[in-house]
Amino acid sequence: MKVLITGASGFVGNAMCSWLTTHGLEVVGAVRQLPARAQVDVDYRIVGGLDSGTDWRAALAGVDAIVHCAARVHVMRETADDPLMAFRSANVAGTERLARQAAALGVKRLVFISSIKVNGEETAEGFNENDTPAPQDPYGHAKWEAEEMLSQVSKETGLEVVIVRPPLVYGPGVKGNLARLLNWVERGVPLPLAGIRNARSLIGIDNFTSALHACLTHPAAAGRTYLVRDGKDISTPELVRRLGRHLGKPARLFALPAPLLEGLAGLVGRRADVQRLTGSLIVDDSRIRSELGWVPPYTLDDGLELMARAWLNRTRTG
């Protein structure tokens, strides 16, 4: 099988290329420009940006299936004048262009990386695939619109579409809140998180690529939507303690009530960031386990240890 990975130089795309080549698949990597650290077994093809005008035909030549990792990603500090239109341009129009050109060239299946943000931002009950979508921000709205568009393209063309909605994906090279936590724990910064009583589903990058591989190759995945996770949910203070253990640093935690934390964060425009640390977001991944027989190959601690090791090595290797 020959597989096109879009966004092949990104966090997920690069890992997906490694996973598939290791498992014997032929990989074409679509990129804006050749990566500084190209993988020798990947056939890189430059396609430029992601929008309604992208021409994917050269990258799609001879391809059997696609894992669509390229996207305008969720950012903490938005700079676009109209964020929803910016997300729609890349994540809806750009994805539709890819899907329609792929279908015209006889590609069989497209695995689309969506987001748990389609379900919503917070739940202690457990999101599942049957929930009514409730996206709260422009990124989540655009991902939901892309899912709906792909469903229509599939009906019109016969292209098999598989939707995967991950929670936070972590691993070597992670950015955002987890990178901040790693930095703070390594530096010994006291964190006011000891009193937080929440639970979060996460998925390590190697578990995620394993799940995407199953969605790519299993006959039963066609037309389905799946939620994924490592299998063990974790509170924010416990996450900090485990990061400290893997970094070889003590976790310096003290308690402040969550409403006070969020209020203080709101004064400096960081309420949403803190809510991601204090709130619960649990994922029910029973569908992918039962339908595809998928089991995460690595534990949560396996993934955290790998991420911490890469963090400690970042100066030497980066």
Could you list the active site residues?
A: 139
Q: Residue 28, SS3? A: strand
* 3-state secondary structure labels for all residues of 217-234: HCHHHCCCEEECCCCCCE
The C-alpha atoms of residue 32 and residue 69 are separated, in whole angstroms, by: 13
- What residues contact residue 179 under an 8 Å CB cut-off, 6+ apart? none
CA distances from 185 to 22, 253, 255, 274 (A): 33, 10, 16, 16
- What residues contact residue 102 under an 8 Å CB cut-off, 6+ apart? 56, 60, 63, 66, 110, 159
Q: Which residues of 5-37 are buried (b: 16+ CB within 10 A; e: fewer)?
A: bbbbbbbbbbbbbbbbbeeebebbbbbeeebee
The angle at the Cα of 277, spanning 85 to 135, to the nearest 5 degrees, equals: 30
How many other CB atoms are there within 10 angstroms of residue 48's CB atom?
12
Residue type, position 132, single letter:
T
- Which of 275, 76, 311, 73 lies closest to 186, judged by CA? 311
- What residues contact residue 93 under an 8 Å CB cut-off, 6+ apart? 51, 52
How many other CB atoms are there within 10 angstroms of residue 64's CB atom?
15
The C-alpha atoms of residue 26 and residue 49 are separated, in whole angstroms, by: 23
CA 159 distance to own-chain centroid: 23
